[in-house]
Amino acid sequence: MEIDVRNLHPLEIRLLRHVSPGEAVTAQRLIDELDYKIGQCNQAFSWLTAKGFLEETDRKFRTLFELTELGQQQLEIGTPAQRIFNLLKSKGPASLPEIAEELALEKSDVGSAFGMLSKSGTCRMGEGNKAEAVAEKAPAEVLVAAKVLEKASVEALDESALDEEERNFVAKNSKKRGAAGSPLKIIEREEVFFALTDAGANAKAALLAANITGEELGSVTTSMLSSGSWKQASFRPYSLNTPSARLIPGRRNPYGSYLQWVKDKLCSLGFEEFDGPLVENEFWNGDALFMPQFHSARDIHDVYYVKNPSHAKQIEEPYLSQVAQTHENGWSTGSRGWRYSFDHEFTRRQVMRSQGTVLSAKTLPHAKVPGKYFGVARCFRYDQVDATHGADFYQTEGIVLGEDVNLKTLLGLLKMFAEEVAGAEEVKYVPGYFPFTEPSIEVHIKHPVLGWFELGGSGIFRPEVTKALGIDVPVLAWGLGIDRMALMHLGLNDLRELFTPDIESVRMRRGN
Amino acid sequence: MPKIEVHENLFNSLLGTPYTDEQLEAVFPVAKAELDGHDVAEKLYKIELNDTNRPDLWSAAGVARQLVSYRDKAIARYDFFSTAEEELDSEGRRLVVHESAALVRPFSIGFAATGKVVDEEILLNLIQSQEKLCNNFGRKRKTIAMGVYRSDMITYPVHFEGADPDKAHFVPLHMDEDLTLREICAKHPKGLEYGPIVADKPVFPFLYDDANGVLSFPPVINSARIGAVEVGDEHLFFEFSGTGLDDLLLAASIVACDCSDMGFTILPVRCEFPYDTDYGRMITVPYYFQQPAACELGFLRKMLGDALSGEQVVDALCRMGVFALVDENMVYITVPEYRNDFLHPVDIVEDVMIGHGLENFAPELPNDSTVGRITEEEAFARKVKELMVGLGFQEMMYNYLGSKREYIENMHVDGSDYIQIANPMSENYEYVRPSVIPSLLESESVSGHAVYPHQIFEVGKVAFLDESDNSGTTTRNYLGFLGASSDMGFNQLSSQISTLFYFLNREYVMQEMADPRFIDGRCGKLVSKGVEVGIFGEVHPAVLESWGIAMPTVACEIDLDLLK
């Protein structure tokens, strides 16, 4: 396996350079000889074994003794036995309670320490139940204790390095668990032995040959730059394929971005955007579109009614009168009308906008000729919410006004949408039906992924719609099924997902 | 959109030659039809009809008629129609409408058919026609109700009157009990469904023959005797009652043409009214009532963008089953007996378009030059979104309808100026969103698994009551944003607001206020040029608890329409 030794970490490099084939490599050795911390040893071992440069040769258990807080204290002020002996020597005989009080020791500690002192013959219980010292020097045990604590304060004691006296003391004064009351704590440590493999030896040779020392510079620091110290050293190459940490950026919603793209596309095709309120009345939501007031799509089971206020205050004239007469007898639109009595109360009934075409109709009275308009309108339908129906959703709709627009320009417009907005390969037109357009056309496209599907509906607004709203030129009206393409763009298949409240899902979402 | 099921055998015999599914799919657009499915085992075509103004197409015979006339360039001819000028012989068959009918359902007409034995397929087809005509076209029997009866059991004349609902009685179809009309409304499933159409009237519609044999209680239910048509019957009587004569005459014409296409001989019935109608007091049905329609050739050419010749126009209409002639610059058509959808010359234009073949019109790009632009609101919204993204926020998009729990209860507000839906389908969608904040909190409540900190925003619409507007409501463009994490607090929010306003180049001051959604003393309003444009603060733990949120949360909402 070809390994670029420049990609090795300094901890690996220094280890490889330091040890020779056949030598035992242990954590302790690295700590002693290379000043590694125990964590660094583990990192170096795990990386180098993974690369096959080191192999484990053996592992042994070691018992170590470590100074506890109490041991540290005893090291500083002496063990209870030492202190009792010193007290009796300097202040003369004293009872055990007096000793405990004087030295601020637990009575039980005083008892066991005095037991050891009297057993060694250096103290005894004299008159009046008072303890007294009878030897010049403290007993050997006390001296051993001081020596052991001293050594343990430098580094944890290895059982194998103790003599018999020391071992005796340690045995009596250490615990594995709950060692707070003892000066020493027992630690059992597993020591692992490693050795260089052949590959490791090769890497070592390569490092030496390339003169890579592991002392190369890591992060560029401000002091490095201001002092110019980098000039005397070389930079350590970083491993480029280390997994990177996750960032959470501020981000647009991809569905929003897609709708914005559609808007920009339509603008680039010469369309001006329109918008309007969410609450509409029956006049604009249906009457102005020449949908008879008894039309099935205007049923209470198709449109959301606003509870309060249930009716708009008024409908703008002259449009109300013109539309009402158009429904009743065609007015001057050339139509015979629907021949029923127009309900002036019903027309003020307030509903949640149910179709984007409402905004097209509302644009007509003040539209420019020629003019092109579009809107991405939130609409509301009385529908069971499922994967293909939302309680509210966007419709993308628009109109084209012009003296000379006609069926052929409508087909041309649809072809342009199919190619520019949907990226269609093939386009097919079939007769359709909408209450407000005649003729009506559905445009179907062949999409590279989805195959044939209906891209949208369109037509030429009926004169009953346009003339009643004061427009005398033909008006092309169109609507595109943008949500279907948005789902495809986002790799989703459930409309409800477009408005998901789930933060993680939106964070991870990408467009195609 | 009406959907029908059509038996293969019946459909093929009407078409003359069988079609493959592919062939059907190719020709169906002529009838604005789609092949929804083909159940090969049951031998049923499922067809969806898109034109809600062409009830003549909602049957096997109707679709077949359109396809055949297109294929053969032949117009279907029917010789059983009376007109204002020529009344056919009804051979003593009469339907007499009594004065009392005016109080409940002023019109009833009928005709008879014979000469073909009703088989299973025809029976199902008739039932389907009845359902489509009465439900889809007749507004759930309100304006059209249709009944089929055994003509050979009827003693003419048939009588239609407004009867006393507690006295008139008969044994209704699918029951053994003799019930009064009012009892039928209370007990019979059809009575429960359609009784309400007449329930508040002083008299109920009642159809019976001259020997007092009951035909039906229109628009509710037939009798179990004369009104129980079965497979094997050969003599039928069709009756249509309703509120408008044109709709009834059209429905009768459609059914008569369908029956004729299926092999029946149609027998006219003279219908007599005690009051004047658009077509007199005596109408022999089937009756051709349609007026001729016309369209200027120049208008037709302008609409289609194609200088079709007079001959091409006549040919195209012929393929649609419409007889036409061109004289000078006018196209005159004879409206087919089964259609009444020519309201305006544009309706003729569309038939020419379909008959000529949509594929024969070459697309052309509109050549008017116009300037495209987004709205001012959209431009400002984009600026705001860009800044929010720069501040580290994730854009969210939400539904605009929600529940009382989400918008009112969880927010600890009274919701007195919120817009409520009068006919919600579910309590989940009962209110219009008055604020973006509940939407953001909903996100927070379902996103405990998402890595913190959470910083989310939406620029979207909200709506609430506003007496000053004509609608009593107002729709506004709002920015709402929210931060949630263990160390999220007022200071960070304050910095974000300050940054946002700086780059939007708007001055603002913060003024203390109390709002149950936020912690007292850590909430305020944003005032710009003396106008309150927003609110911000640390979300109150009571609100967080209602939403089930266990993370400190701050939120801010700004009315962009006031700021732009």
CATH number, position B559 = 3.30.930.10
Whether residues B467 and B422 share a domain: the answer is yes
Whether residues A371 and A496 share a domain: the answer is yes
Whether residues B211 and B129 share a domain: the answer is yes
> How buried is residue B20: exposed, middle or buried, by Cβ count under 10 Å (0-12/13-18/19+)?
exposed
User: In angstroms, what CA-CA distances link A68 with A73, A84, A116, A174, B350?
Assistant: 9, 21, 22, 9, 99
The answer as to whether A321 is a domain residue is: no
* Residue A243 pLDDT: 84
Average pLDDT over residues B504-512: 95
Q: Name the residue of chain B whose CA is nearest to A433's CA.
A: B51
Closest alpha carbon to A426 in A448, A408, A458: A448
Contact call for A277 and B443, based on CB within 8 A: no
Whether residues B169 and B188 share a domain: the answer is yes
Whether residues B486 and B546 share a domain: the answer is yes
The answer as to whether B79 is a domain residue is: no
* Nearest-CB residue to A314 (from B385, B394, B470): B470
- With a pLDDT cut of 90, the percent of chain A lying above it is 54
* Residue A174 pLDDT: 83
Average pLDDT over residues B554-559: 98
DSSP class of residue A473 equals S
Whether residues A39 and A91 share a domain: the answer is no
Q: What H or E segment, with its residue span, contains residue A378?
A: strand A371-380
* Nearest-CB residue to B420 (from A273, A308, A506): A308
Closest alpha carbon to A59 in A93, A109, A25, A14: A25
Spatial distance between the Cα atoms of B447 and B548, rounded to a whole number of angstroms: 11
Q: Does B35 contact chain A (CB < 8 Å)? A: no
Q: Name the residue of chain A whose CA is nearest to B375's CA.
A: A273
Residue B123: give its domain's CATH number: 3.50.40.10
Whether residues A266 and A385 share a domain: the answer is yes
> How would you classify the pairing of strands B158-163 and B204-209?
antiparallel
Q: Which of residues 54-113 of A touch B (CB under 8 A)?
A: none
* Residue A1 pLDDT: 46
The answer as to whether A14 is a domain residue is: yes
Average pLDDT over residues B115-142: 93
Question: Could you report the per-residue pLDDT of A155-174, keeping only the tens digit for each?
Answer: 888 877 788 888 888 888 88
* Nearest-CB residue to A501 (from B370, B388, B398): B398
Number of domains in chain A: 3
**Pick from B329, B360, B391: which residue ends a domain?**
B360
Question: Could you report the per-residue pLDDT of A439-488, keeping only the tens digit for each?
Answer: 999 999 987 777 888 899 999 999 999 999 999 999 999 999 888 889 98
Q: Which of A199-208, B240-249, B270-279 has the lowest mean pLDDT?
A: A199-208
Range of the structural domain that residue B67 is part of = 3-72
Spatial distance between the Cα atoms of A8 and A47, rounded to a whole number of angstroms: 9
Whether residues A180 and A208 share a domain: the answer is no
DSSP class of residue A207 equals H
* Nearest-CB residue to A304 (from B303, B421, B443): B421
Amino acid identity, residue A207?
Answer: L
Whether residues B151 and B258 share a domain: the answer is yes
Q: Which of residues 365-384 of A touch B (CB under 8 A)?
A: 368, 370-372, 378, 380, 382-384
The answer as to whether B86 is a domain residue is: no
3-state secondary structure of A470: coil
The answer as to whether A295 is a domain residue is: no
The answer as to whether A246 is a domain residue is: no
Residue B317: give its domain's CATH number: 3.30.56.10
The answer as to whether A103 is a domain residue is: yes
* A210 — pLDDT class (breaks 50, 70, 90): confident
Spatial distance between the Cα atoms of B17 and B19, rounded to a whole number of angstroms: 7
The answer as to whether B198 is a domain residue is: yes
CA B181 to chain centre: 31
Q: Name the residue of chain B whose CA is nearest to A507's CA.
A: B394
The answer as to whether A292 is a domain residue is: no
3-state secondary structure of B395: strand
Residue A439, preceding bond cis, omega within 30 degrees?
yes
Q: Which of A132-146, A342-356, A380-394, B393-407 has the lowest mean pLDDT?
A: A132-146
Q: Does B232 contact chain A (CB < 8 Å)? A: no
Range of the structural domain that residue A78 is part of = 67-189
- With a pLDDT cut of 70, the percent of chain A lying above it is 99
Selected residue of A327, A333, A349, A406 to mutate for chain B interface (largest B Cβ count, 10 A) = A406
- ipTM score assigned to the predicted complex: 0.93
Structure tokens given for A114: 């005095």
Average pLDDT over residues B102-130: 95
* B453 — pLDDT class (breaks 50, 70, 90): very high
Whether residues B411 and B465 share a domain: the answer is yes
Q: What is the mean pLDDT of chain B?
A: 96
Selected residue of B300, B350, B459 to mutate for chain A interface (largest A Cβ count, 10 A) = B350
Angle between helices B297-304 and B310-319 (to 10 degrees): 80
The answer as to whether B132 is a domain residue is: yes
Closest alpha carbon to B48 in B65, B70, B31: B31
- pTM here is 0.81
Spatial distance between the Cα atoms of A437 and A463, rounded to a whole number of angstroms: 9
Structure tokens given for B89: 């012989």
Q: Which of A168-172, B304-308, B491-495 has the lowest mean pLDDT?
A: A168-172
Question: Could you report the per-residue pLDDT of A85-99, keeping only the tens digit for each?
Answer: 888 888 888 888 888
Q: Does B443 contact chain A (CB < 8 Å)? A: yes
The answer as to whether A294 is a domain residue is: no
Q: Which residues contact B442 (CB under 8 A, 6 or more apart)?
A: A501, B398, B402, B406, B547
* A3 — pLDDT class (breaks 50, 70, 90): low
From the CA of A241, how many Å to the nearest CA of chain B? 24
Residue A141: give its domain's CATH number: 1.10.10.10
Whether residues A219 and A365 share a domain: the answer is no
DSSP class of residue B134 equals I
* Nearest-CB residue to B388 (from A250, A275, A278): A250
Whether residues B103 and B13 share a domain: the answer is no
3-state secondary structure of A226: helix
B364 contacts B305 by C-beta, under 8 angstroms: yes
Spatial distance between the Cα atoms of A24 and B138, rounded to a whole number of angstroms: 98
Chain position carrying tokens 């195209």: B316
Q: Name the residue of chain B whose CA is nearest to A432's CA.
A: B32
Residues of B in contact with A380 (CB under 8 A): 400-401
For chains A and B, count residue pairs whose Cβ atoms are closer than 8 Å: 280
Spatial distance between the Cα atoms of A359 and B510, rounded to a whole number of angstroms: 37
Whether residues A499 and A480 share a domain: the answer is yes
Whether residues B119 and B197 share a domain: the answer is yes
The answer as to whether B112 is a domain residue is: yes
The answer as to whether A325 is a domain residue is: no
* Nearest-CB residue to B303 (from A312, A333, A460): A460
Q: Does A408 contact chain B (CB < 8 Å)? A: yes
Whether residues B206 and B339 share a domain: the answer is no
The three-point CA angle A6-A9-A13 to 5° equals 75
The answer as to whether B87 is a domain residue is: no
The answer as to whether B303 is a domain residue is: yes
* Residue A186 pLDDT: 86
Q: Does B29 contact chain A (CB < 8 Å)? A: yes
Q: Which of residues 324-363 of A touch B (CB under 8 A)?
A: 330, 333-340, 350, 352
* Nearest-CB residue to B366 (from A246, A253, A413): A413
Number of domains in chain B: 4
Contact call for A406 and B359, based on CB within 8 A: no
Whether residues A175 and A264 share a domain: the answer is no
Q: Which of A1-10, B7-16, B21-30, B66-75 has the lowest mean pLDDT?
A: A1-10
Contact call for A431 and B354, based on CB within 8 A: yes
Contact call for B432 and A432, based on CB within 8 A: no
Whether residues B381 and B514 share a domain: the answer is yes
Whether residues B428 and B386 share a domain: the answer is yes
* Residue A167 pLDDT: 82
**Pick from B285, B318, B345: which residue ends a domain?**
B285
Whether residues A377 and A504 share a domain: the answer is yes
From the CA of B93, how many Å to the nearest CA of chain A? 31
Whether residues A17 and A160 share a domain: the answer is no
* Nearest-CB residue to A408 (from B345, B361, B473): B361
DSSP class of residue B420 equals B
Residue A441: give its domain's CATH number: 3.30.930.10
In the predicted model, is pLDDT for residue A300 greater than 80?
Answer: no
Closest alpha carbon to B258 in B60, B30, B50: B60
**Pick from B72, B103, B120: which residue ends a domain?**
B72
Spatial distance between the Cα atoms of A80 and A432, rounded to a whole number of angstroms: 104
Selected residue of A271, A278, A363, A492 to mutate for chain B interface (largest B Cβ count, 10 A) = A278
Closest alpha carbon to A14 in A47, A32, A36: A36
User: In angstroms, what CA-CA distances link A225 with A222, A230, B289?
Assistant: 5, 7, 99
In the predicted model, is pLDDT for residue B178 greater than 80?
Answer: yes
Query: How many helices and strands in chain B, by DSSP H and E?
Result: 16, 28
Whether residues B398 and B530 share a domain: the answer is yes
Question: Could you report the per-residue pLDDT of B320-353, keeping only the tens digit for each?
Answer: 999 999 998 999 999 999 999 999 999 999 999 9
Whether residues A27 and A105 share a domain: the answer is no
Whether residues A215 and A106 share a domain: the answer is no
The answer as to whether B367 is a domain residue is: no
Closest alpha carbon to B295 in B231, B350, B364, B213: B350
* Residue A476 pLDDT: 97
Whether residues A14 and A161 share a domain: the answer is no
Q: Which residues contact B469 (CB under 8 A, 6 or more apart)?
A: none
